[in-house]
Amino acid sequence: MQPSDDSELAAAFVAGDERALEQVYSRWSSLVFTMARRATGNESDASDITQAVFISAWRGRSGFDAAKGSLPGWLVTITRRRIADHWESISRETRKIDAESARLDDEAVAGHAEESVNRVLIADELSQLGEPQKKIMELAFFQDLTHAQIARALDIPLGTVKSHIRRSLDRLRTRLEVDHVAL
């Protein structure tokens, strides 16, 4: 089996083809692992979470519904849950006497983990942009250059830079949305 696209791969995965699992892992384990690494702050917990995500995805593969979202979106959802479980188990262990401050801490941790996951999603999508889009977005995000400065720096027409910026933002926005709602 050589799935030509994600939907064929997803179908083979759901059907229980272990070679599909291997491909799914090779395509998306970096994303899962990095989200967990950034959200937990250490590689060991991230490895455990990554293992748990792929095992539970495999065992729960019949619960994946292609009509509701993409396979990577589903994996991201499972990863978010596993990260939340991770923090919950830590918070249970260190449960404070002051329930209110514990609750606020939990929310802060959950928010932090959520932001970490979103950053990794955006980084992943940025890395998949072609050129010159990737370079343009890096200059806009990280160097704070205006589109006019970018156009000069890369010697690209102003209008082209503007539309690249808008399309790239659309793509990043869609990625955040899709991976949020995909269940």
The yes or no reply on residue 113 touching other proteins (CB under 8 A) is no
The yes or no reply on residue 142 touching other proteins (CB under 8 A) is yes
CA 129, chain centre distance (Å)? 15
CB 161 within 8 A of CB 136: yes
Kindly tell me which residue out of 54, 61, 73, 113 binds other proteins, with binding defined by CB under 8 A. Answer: 54
Tell me which DSSP letter residue 61 carries. G
Alpha helices by DSSP H, 15-146: 18-40, 43-59, 71-93, 99-128, 133-142
The yes or no reply on residue 135 touching other proteins (CB under 8 A) is no
The yes or no reply on residue 133 touching other proteins (CB under 8 A) is no
Q: Which residues contact 102 (CB under 8 A, 6 or more apart)?
A: 91, 95, 96
CB 58 within 8 A of CB 79: no
Near other proteins by CB under 8 A, which window of 1-9, 69-77, 87-95, 142-150? 142-150
**Which residues lie near other proteins (CB under 8 A)?**
18, 21-22, 25, 29-34, 37-38, 43, 46-47, 50-51, 54-55, 58-59, 115-116, 118-120, 122-124, 126-127, 137, 140-142, 146-147, 162-163, 165-166, 169, 172-173, 176-177
